[in-house]
Amino acid sequence: MRLDLHVHTRERSACGKATEEAMIKAAIAVGLDGLVFTDHDRLAPPTRLCELNAQYAPFHIFGGIEISLEEGEHVLVLGLQAPELQNQRWTYPELYGFIRRREGFLALNHPFRYRTSLRIDITRHPPDAIELYSHNTPLAAEDQIRQLASHLGLRVLANSDAHQTDRLGDYYNQLATQPANDRELVEALRQGRYSCHAPKRTATPGWAGAALTHIRQRLKLQPSPPSF
Ligand SMILES: [Zn+2]
Ligand SMILES: [Zn+2]
């Protein structure tokens, strides 16, 4: 299942440019099998998710939220429909305790977006994952994010953080299973039954690709894997 875990909509995000249904149709058009609505400090109502799932099956829409922490970082929460998550001024330690007590899934979104250091202590409170790829994750931070994830033993994610339809499909996670609900999705992510994909990032067309192939042959290097 090709799944984008970080998508905004006009219904609940002030910066969202496209409606829920426009996002779903665009995701289907680029070959995704599902997405998660993660609007800023707002959950999608469960009844609305049921309606959309019935309408667009077998495409699946999961519920989530992107929380703007007091410290300034953004985190993704999956697997919880707790109304308290919304529109609260959460500090990271408070939110961390809340999520852990309820067995939700927590990921740090687009780290190092505006600065070279983090404003929360993820060594003390490690999330379940860190977003490696997104349209708001700086390319220059990729090595730093990989090192941080490796150092803390955290999984990475590839999501669009799309606020408009043309941003879908560039980054996604391919799950080995087809989770039927939010709890099964959290289980699949926790168990690492997925791989991250960034098709546009790994494509090296034209002369650049030929030159790289030549260099790799000279150095007896293996081609870059399309995913990790
Ligand atoms: Zn964000
Ligand atoms: Zn976002």
Segment 63-74, tens digit of pLDDT: 999 999 999 999
In a shared domain, residues 179 and 210:
no
pLDDT at 52: 98
150 C-alpha vs ligand 1 centroid, how far in Å? 22
Task: State how far the Cα of 145 lies from the Cα of 59, in Å rounded to an integer.
Answer: 31
pLDDT in tens, 111-159: 999 999 999 999 999 999 999 999 999 999 999 999 999 999 999 999 9
Which of the ligands is closest to the CA of residue 109?
1
Q: How does 63-98 read in b/e, with b if 16+ C-beta sit within 10 Å?
A: bbbbbebeeebbbbbbbbeeeebeeeebebeebbeb
In sequence order, what are the beta bridge partners of 106? 77
Q: Are residues 120 and 144 in the same domain?
A: yes
- Ligand 2 centroid – CA 186 distance (Å): 19
Q: Which residue segment(s) compose the domain that 142 sits in?
A: 2-197
Measured distance CA(27)–CA(4) in Å, rounded: 9
What pLDDT score was predicted for residue 87?
A: 86
Name the closest ligand to CA 36.
2
CA 208 – ligand 2 centroid, Å: 32
| Ligand 2 center from residue 197 Cα (angstroms) | 18
Lateral strand order in the sheet of 155-158:
155-158, 129-133, 105-108, 74-78, 60-68, 34-37, 2-7, 172-175, 194-197
Are 73 and 131 in a shared domain? yes
Ligand 1 centroid, distance to 74 Cα (angstroms): 5
**In this structure, what CATH number is given to the domain that contains residue 179?**
3.20.20.140
Q: Are residues 168 and 224 in the same domain?
A: no
120 and 97 Cβ atoms separated by less than 8 Å? no
Residues 23 and 82 in one domain: yes
CA of 82 to the centre of ligand 2 (A): 19
- For residue 175, which amino acid is it? L
Residue 215 burial class via C-beta count within 10 angstroms: exposed 0-12, middle 13-18, buried 19 and up: exposed
Q: Which residue has the higher pLDDT, 198 or 210?
A: 198
Q: Would you state the pLDDT for residue 201?
A: 77
Cα of 213 vs centre of ligand 2, distance in Å, is 36
pLDDT of residue 21: 98
Asked if 218 and 112 sit in the same domain, the reply is no
3-class DSSP state of 211: helix
227 shares a domain with 127: no
What distance in Å separates the CA atoms of residue 123 and residue 23, rounded to the nearest whole number?
35
Same domain, 162 and 223: no
Same domain? For 19 and 129 the reply is yes
Residue with tokens 């290097």: 221
Q: How far apart are CA 34 and CA 201, in angstroms?
A: 21
Write out 45-107 in H/E/C secondary structure.
CHHHHHHHHHHHCCCEEEEEEEEECCCCCEEEEECCCCHHHCCCCCCHHHHHHHHHHCCCEEE
Counting the structural domains of the chain, the total is: 2
CA of residue 209 to ligand 1 center, whole Å:
33
Rounded distance from Cα 53 to ligand 1 centre (Å): 25
Same-domain pairing of 116 and 208? no
Per-residue pLDDT of 70-115, as tens digits, reads 999 999 999 999 999 998 999 999 999 999 999 999 999 999 999 9
Q: How far is the CA of 211 from the centre of ligand 1 (A)?
A: 36
Q: Give 168-194 pLDDT, tens digit per residue.
A: 999 999 999 999 999 999 999 999 999
* 93 and 136, same domain (yes or no): yes
The dihedral over CA atoms of 4, 6, 12, 17, expressed in degrees to the nearest 10, equals -70
- Ligand 1 mean position to 131 CA, how many Å? 11
- 221 & 172 share domain: no
| Phi, psi angles (nearest 5°) of residue 186 | -60, -45
214 C-alpha to ligand 1 centroid (Å): 39
